[in-house]
Amino acid sequence: MVTRFLPLEPHDSREVAGYVLRARLGSGGMGDVFLSFTPGGRAVAIKLMRREFADDPEFRRRFRAEVSAAKRVQGLYTAPVVDADPDAPLPWLATAYVPGPSLQQAVAEYGMVNAITRKTRCFATGLLTVSRANLRTLQAPVRGFCGCGVELD
């Protein structure tokens, strides 16, 4: 398995709360996800929210709830929260980085059926962990949800 990281874009932040951003892992509707490292050298995924959400009180309330819920979920196939600041000028969340191939890479390596089967098993185990934490909703960073060899895109 070869994991390729995307370079930072010119407009990307270079640091978040002392975490030096090393590469871009992806982006979605809520924000961008970056690779960084703790002072001890542990790889983390930093989810940095989009600027347009920073002034939305309802978004901040939901993000605070997401951070709180994610801290209560602990399992083999979920990425633990390492750090977070939902009240920062740009809210952010750091979880352990879970390496794995993209779905496209997994299909190329394992074949469609095996890749989907692995992804489904991991995702189901992660959802069971969330269920056991008695959470009704969790908008977890999807990329960190499957630590068994296939990242969710």
Tokens of 58: 């309802």
* Cut 0.85: pTM above it: no
Measured CA to CA, the distance from residue 72 to residue 90 in angstroms comes to: 23
- Give the tens place of pLDDT for each residue, 12-44: 999 999 999 999 998 888 899 999 999 999 999
At 31, is the secondary structure helix, strand, or coil? Answer: strand
> Are the beta carbons of 90 and 54 closer than 8 angstroms?
yes
Higher pLDDT, 3 or 143: 3
Q: Which domains does the chain have, with CATH numbers?
A: 15-145 (3.30.200.20)
Query: Which amino acid belongs to residue 87?
Result: D
